[in-house]
Structures are given as structure tokens and as C-alpha cells.
A and B are shown apart, each in its own frame.
Chain A
């Protein structure tokens, strides 16, 4: 079925045909025709944000928590440039989103017209692909193609720039089923010979470890299920990156906790001492590897990834397998079963005993005391009081993010939305709005630091307007905590610009928007205060006043290997070499 319609109507029609129910956006001159069409229909909900960056992060939150493509709609010029941070964030974390931007009419492009920017030029390096559509006849197929590119292979952000005259002009609408998806079709099946080699390596391994990442989440819930089957069947201990939390349940008996710079002692030690490392949908980021020439020196490394450029980029791989995690794990399980389900049981139980010994270090221990709330304690209580609920967690970026990853426990995929690769402060609040839109009845909590939260606090207006009961759990230490920690450890305790001066009264701030504000500073009151937050049917800003100088441990200092972790205040003296200070 093909129909004649305007470009603006095509946009809305194509989004509907792609199953989009929610769009996050902000109107402006160059997208007025599309907004006119949005006005005249009821199938797609438009969520008016307060800043375009918020729209893109909200679309990311929507995408991460559903696995669907998130959609944002912005105007030309500043609308598009404000979307750049969100696009880059989605590119680094492989999140499928589509940003549609208005553009000045084609006959004004290049004339420095009002609100003109070279949007495709600016966003070329921060999208997986982008298009400037100059002909309405090409518009519908470009939108369908964009959904395919965003979600196929390694997912990522895409952008379509649509000049205003293209929105007004009329052409034939092409529905998705009539479109030929071009040549872009990444390989999903892994090479069976390499998979057999990995099965053989699993049979022989004495100290194996699974190191999983966001690729497992992106591959869909089926991949998480297959991962669990593999772990239960083989008994291989499993750790995960920040991005991969929830793919394997935190309550699973082979779970080691998160690895990396602020990962758990047992996870990092196991990575260092293993003899077989199976990387699944993870990319050997510098937060994970630490010092490269001392990274897991004695292990054979297998790497399952859908993106060939991830293989051998940082760490040399012995068994590379290019393919979708779900497909490869399915084949791996088949091969391993058909070969007789063999593992070296005796060696594995020794390996687990060694890991249990590392566990006794109790690397997350902290001293709560009676007077001041420790941030770790706040998260421990939040976990205890929310773990049985239908819960989604977002975070901002910094110490609170690492503590959340350490102390909150995730049982399933798509429940944890955090800016991993780009480390975008201001991500969490708008993301929580996107998550709440996708899951209206769920409990959505954004664990924040006060400094990060202020970066996109204007979105409180959005939460109020659309009655989104997002809980903003702010661990307020009146510091840029992670910056402060690095200055303490690396820059001679010179705390340059790393404190939050002139903070608002968060309770009054909440009330000014019509939201609920709660403040808590006494550990004895914390449980009741958290319950008050959970019981309130509406947005809450929870100002949790915590210890101001707490550092986040364990910590692998930049430039150090996994087995040289700092475990607490006492271990930090002179631990970081000057060469490490150059690294971020």
C-alpha cells in the first residue's frame, strides 16, 4: 500500500509503522511541519523535554530498558548541536537511537541562515550513520533504513536531517515491507571452527573466567538466558563490565561481581590469574584492562564480538569469534554438549576455592559509624528496601555510579542504565524519564551525585508535566567526588574547583516544581526516609547528605595491573606513580 503524503506526515507514518509509541523532543522553526503532524494524531506520545540533551538521553533510557530503538525529535541549529552529547554517549555504549533533526530549507543550506548548522557534518563522527534527505521521495525509505542501521549489527545512534521544504513537499510513502534494506547486513553467526576451538579450550581450562559486557544485553534477553545456561552447565566463574550488569544474575552462585577500575577484588584477581578468558560482548576498555602489558599475563583469550574492529584492538586474542553473542553462545552450547559436556572438574573446584579465598578480603567493607551516612550504606539500604520490586536503576557519572554498580544487585538485563563509555554527567535524570515512559508501572530510581544531577535538573519540569514518578536518589557530598578523589590521590590534595558551592535547597527546589523533596542526614532515619520516597506517587528528589570525603574503593590506579589494587585509605600512600597521573 503506497500513498501520497507530505514529508512531515511521512515522518509520523514511518515512526508508527516502525512500532514507535514514544518520541522525546523539543520543537523549533525547522521542525514545525512535523510537530503539526504530531499534533494531529494520537498513536505516538510526544514527551516535551526541557533541553535537547535530555531528549536524547531519555531516548537512550527508553532504548536501554526495552531493547527497542529510542527516538528523539529536535530542531535545526542549536537543537541539533544540543543532541551531540547524547549521540556520542549512545555511540560509545552502542545504544540504538534515532534522532530526527529539522534543517533550514534546501535552498538556504550553505547561506548561514538563521538556526542553520552543518548537522550531518557535526554528527558524522558521533553517529553510526547519518543522512541529509534532500528529496521527499527518499524520505520514507531513509527512515526505515535508519531503523535497520541503528539496530543491526553493533547497535548505535543514527540521525536524519530533514530540511523544512522536504517536510512540506509531497511524495509517495513507502511502507517498511516495500523497502530494500541495502547492503548493510553484519554477520551474526560465528565461525563454527573457532567455536569448536573455544569448546576445546573450555574442556582443558583449569582457571577459566567469563568476562561479559554490554554486548550480551544488546543481543537481547535470549543471549542473557544462554549465558546463564552456559555458566550453570560449565561452572565457569563470571564477571561483567559496568555495561553488562544483569546479564547474569547477581544472586547466581558463579557471580564474581563487576570487574575493572572500581571492580571487586575477587573479579580482578581472577582476571589476572585465569588461564582462559572468554570475553563476551565486551571490548577491553581501558577501565577494564588497567596496564595493558600486565593484563592477565598467562591466559588464553577468546573474544566473541559482533564488531570485527573490537577484535585485537587493545588485547591480542587467541580465539576470535565474530558474531552476535546470542547466536555464538547457542552454537557454543550445542558444540560443548555434543562433545560430552566435559570440564576439568578437579581444577575448577580448586580455582573456585582460590576465588573464595580472595572473597574473604571483603573488598567492599566500610565503616558506617553512627553519625554520618556513608554513601555505601545509603545504597545498601536502597538495595535492601527495593530489591523485590519491579525496579530500574539509572545513574549519573562519578563515585555514586561506581558505588551503585558495587552495591546494587541486578537479576536481569535491561534494568541498569548508566553512561559507561562516554561518562556523561547529566545522563541519569533524563534517562530515568525515558525508562519510566517505557515502564509506567515500574519503580525507576536515578542514583545521582548532586553535581551530576544539577547538569540536567531542568528535566524536573518534564517529569512533573508527564506525571512520571521517577525517584532521584542524590548522594550529596557537596563535592565532585571522583574528581576530588583523584586530586587527593594524584594531585597532592589540591582540590581545584571540585566542590559544589551554592547548592540549592533540594527540598525547596522540588517543591518549586511541585515535586516532593526529602532530605536525610542521620543513618537512623534513612530507612524511613527511603520508604517515604518509595511510597510517594510522583517524582521525588531525595537529598541524602553523605560523608563528604569518602573515597571509592577498590581502585586500580591508572597505569597499574589488576593485581595491584588499592583496597582502602591505608593502601593509597605513594601507590600511584607519576606516570599514572597522565592517564585519565
Chain B
């Protein structure tokens, strides 16, 4: 029997290529997961993602109903349609999870993220940064003679675009919250 020659990193010989490829298209979905606000619940959710090899692109979590002990976790994830379905089903069977909504397929939704950007510089760069911040409706929340902190809210793409513009102007440090999202309409 011939010895195995498997290239490092090759998936050709991996067990996983025996999984069905229902579709190869990678889709990005935003999931809203309503969970019991109890110790360890976030670990259950992210443990599921790491244990089963799913991606997390963005994650936000906060209590949304103090009386009902409910927190809302918003997860942006990427995968084939089959993987996304698995993720939702796997999330749904965690005992602490009350509800899973796929905002990407359940009608239109609003997605927002908050970013804090520290930009340091003097002279023209400083003026340019301030001018661009105005265009992006970013607020100055801290200023020194050599720096600003801008606060910006918007869809993740807008924040990405702002970051791209700030980089040559002395972008020093960034903090982003990750996406929070709600479905549009009365329901």
C-alpha cells in the first residue's frame, strides 16, 4: 500500500471534503439570538462557534430585558447556506437560547455599529481629519492639541470607509462595538 503524501494545508484528502456541498456560495448573515441572561451563556454561544468551526465576524451582547432576564446577542457570520442553517439549528438547541432570528433572510433590517477613532496629528492633517469627520457626521468626544477621538455611528461599511480615510491622517487607535441590528417595520 502506498504511503500517504498529503501536502500541508491540503484539503483534498480531508474528511471534510466528504461533506455535501449543497452550495459553495459564501453568504454573510446577521443573526439575532435572544438568550437567558445567566452566567456562561455567552461561552455556550461562542463555544458552539469555535467547537464546530464556524466563523464569527462580529459579536455584540447586552442585556435588553432586565425583568425578563434576556440578553440579545447579535452575530455576523459567514458560510454556505447549509452551514448558516446548521448554525441556526445548533444555536436553537442550546437550552439557554430562547429565539434565533436570521435578520438577513427575515425581511429588511437596520444594522448599526459604533466606532471610536483616535487620530493624532498637527497642521493640515489635523484640519483634514476634522473636515472629513464632519462629512461622516462623526462627533469629537475628546481633543488635545495633537489628537482627536471621533465617535461615529453607522453601518459597518461606513465605519470601514471612515477608517480608510483616517489612516493616512494619523489614525492611532480604533475601538468598534460590532454590529447591533433590528428588523425593520412594526413587528
Interface residues of A (CB under 8 A from B): 120-121, 124-125, 128-129, 132, 149, 153-154, 182-184, 286, 291-293, 307-309, 311-316, 490-492, 559, 574, 576, 578-579, 581-584
Inter-chain contact A154/B20, CB cutoff 8 Å: no
* B51 is an interface residue with CB less than 8 A from chain A: yes
Structural contact, B15 and A292, CB atoms closer than 8 A: no
Neighbouring A residues of B95 by C-beta, 8 Å: 128-129, 149, 184
Q: Which of B13, B36, B93 has the most CB atoms of chain A within a 10 A radius of its CB?
A: B93
Beta-carbon contact of A125 and B47 below 8 Å: yes
> A312-B85, A578-B4, A582-B13 are contacts. A125–B18 as well, Cβ < 8 Å?
no
Q: Is the CB of B1 within 8 A of A307?
A: no
**A313, B80: Cα distance in complex, Å:** 12
Give the bracket for the number of chain B residues in contact with chain A: 20 to 34
- Other-chain contact of B6, A154, A312, A576, A582 (Cβ < 8 Å): A582
Closest Cβ–Cβ distance, residue B31 to chain A (whole Å): 14
The contact of A579 among B13, B22, B40, B51, by CB within 8 Å, is B13
B44 contacts the other chain (CB 8 A): yes
How many angstroms from the CA of A290 to the CA of B82 in the assembled complex? Answer: 20
Taking CB atoms, residues of chain A closer than 8 Å to B85 are: 312
A residues less than 8 Å from B3 (CB atoms): 492, 578
17 new A-B contacts, CB < 8 A, other than A312-B85, A578-B1, are: A121-B40, A121-B43, A124-B47, A125-B47, A132-B39, A286-B15, A292-B19, A292-B20, A293-B20, A308-B92, A312-B86, A314-B19, A316-B22, A578-B13, A579-B12, A579-B13, A583-B15
Interchain CA distance A282-B107 in the complex, whole Å: 34
Q: For residue B151, give the distance in angstroms from its CB to the closest CB of chain A.
A: 35
B89 an interface residue at 8 Å Cβ cutoff? yes
Of all chain A residues, the one with the shortest Cβ separation from B98 is: A183
Q: Per DSSP, are chain B's interface residues mostly helix, strand or loop, or mixed?
A: loop
Residues of A within 8 Å of B98, CB to CB, are 183
Contact partner of B1 (CB less than 8 A), chosen from A183, A312, A491, A583, is A491
A90 to chain B, nearest CB (A): 15
Complex contact A124–B40 (CB within 8 A): yes
Q: What are 18 pairs between A and B in contact, CB < 8 Å?
A: A121-B43, A124-B44, A124-B47, A132-B39, A183-B36, A308-B92, A309-B86, A312-B85, A312-B86, A314-B19, A316-B22, A578-B3, A578-B13, A579-B12, A581-B4, A582-B6, A582-B15, A583-B15
Chain B residues near A (Cβ < 8 Å): 1-6, 12-15, 18-20, 22, 36, 39-40, 43-44, 47, 51, 82, 85-86, 89-90, 92-93, 95-96, 98
Q: Write out the residue numbers on chain A whose beta carbons fall within 8 Å of the beta carbon of B22.
A: 312, 316
Give the chain A neighbours of B19 by CB distance below 8 A: 292, 314
B93 touching A490 by the CB < 8 A rule? no
Docked pose: A182 CA to B96 CA in angstroms: 10
Least Cβ–Cβ distance between B175 and chain A, in angstroms = 28
Contact, CB under 8 Å: B40 / A120:
yes
Q: Is B18 touching A584 in the complex (CB atoms < 8 A)?
A: no
Which residues of A lie under 8 Å from residue B5 when comparing CB positions? 578
For the complex, give the distance between the alpha carbons of A309 and B92 in Å.
Answer: 8
Residue of B nearest to A322 (CB): B89
Nearest CB to that of A492 among chain B residues? B1
Minimum CB distance partner of B85 in chain A: A312
Chain B residues near A581: list those with CB within 8 A: 4
Closest to B2 in A: A578
Expressed in whole angstroms, the Cα–Cα distance for A125 and B48 within the complex equals 8
A456 to B95, CA, bound (A): 32
Contacts of B96 in A (CB 8 A): 129
- Contact B39 A582, beta carbon cutoff 8 Å: no
Which chain A residues lie closer than 8 Å to B4 at the CB level?
578, 581-582
| A387 vs chain B, min Cβ distance (A) | 38
CB contact under 8 A between A311 and B89, given known A492-B1, A559-B18 = yes
Say whether A293 contacts B89, CB under 8 Å.
no
B13 proximity list for chain A (CB < 8 A) = 578-579, 582
Nearest B residue (CB) for A559:
B18
Please report the C-alpha to C-alpha distance between residue A306 and residue B150 in the assembled complex, in whole angstroms: 50
CA gap between A286 and B2 in the complex, in Å: 24
A490 CB contact (under 8 Å) in B1, B20, B86, B89: B1
| Interface pair A584/B15, CB less than 8 Å apart | yes
Shortest Cβ distance from B92 into chain A, in angstroms? 6
Residue of B nearest to A290 (CB): B18
Assuming the A-B contacts A124-B40, A129-B96, are A309 and B15 also in contact, with contact meaning beta carbons closer than 8 angstroms in the complex?
Answer: no
- Of all chain A residues, the one with the shortest Cβ separation from B95 is A129
**Which residues of chain A are within 8 angstroms of B51 by Cβ–Cβ distance?**
125
Q: Are A582 and B93 in contact (CB under 8 A)?
A: no
User: Which residues from B are CB-within-8-Å of A121?
Assistant: 40, 43
Give Cα distance in the complex from A187 to B4, angstroms. Answer: 47
**CB atoms of B20 and A582 under 8 A apart:** no
Q: What separation, in Å, do the CA atoms of A490 and B6 have in the docked complex?
A: 15
- Determine whether the beta carbon of A316 is less than 8 Å from that of B6: no
CA distance A82 to B36 in the complex (A): 29
Known: A308-B93, A309-B90, A492-B1. A124 touches B82 (CB 8 A): no
Question: Among B15, B51, B93, B95, which residue has the most Cβ atoms of chain A within 10 A?
Answer: B95
Complex-state Cα separation, A490 to B1, whole angstroms:
7
Give chain B residues whose Cβ lies under 8 Å from the Cβ of A582.
Answer: 4, 6, 13-15
Are A315 and B20 closer than 8 Å at their CB atoms?
Answer: yes
Residues in B whose Cβ lies below 8 Å from that of A182: 36
Q: B15's closest neighbor in chain A, by CB?
A: A583
Would you list the 7 A-B pairs with minimal beta carbon distance, nearest first?
A309-B89, A129-B95, A308-B89, A582-B13, A583-B15, A292-B18, A309-B90
Query: Whose C-beta in chain A lies nearest to the C-beta of B90?
Result: A309
Residue numbers in B under 8 Å from A129 (CB-CB): 95-96
Chain B min CB distance to A145 (Å): 9
- Per the bound structure, the CA–CA distance linking A308 and B86 in Å amounts to 9
- In the complex, residue of chain A having the shortest beta-carbon distance to the beta carbon of B87: A309
On chain B, the residues within 8 Å of A184 by CB distance are 95
CB distance from B38 to the nearest CB of A (A): 9
Q: Which residues from chain A contact B43 at a C-beta distance below 8 Å?
A: 121, 124
A307 lies within 8 A of B20 (CB) = no
Q: Considering only CB atoms, which chain B residue lies closest to A558 in the complex?
A: B15
Bound complex: CA of A581 vs CA of B3, how far in Å? 10
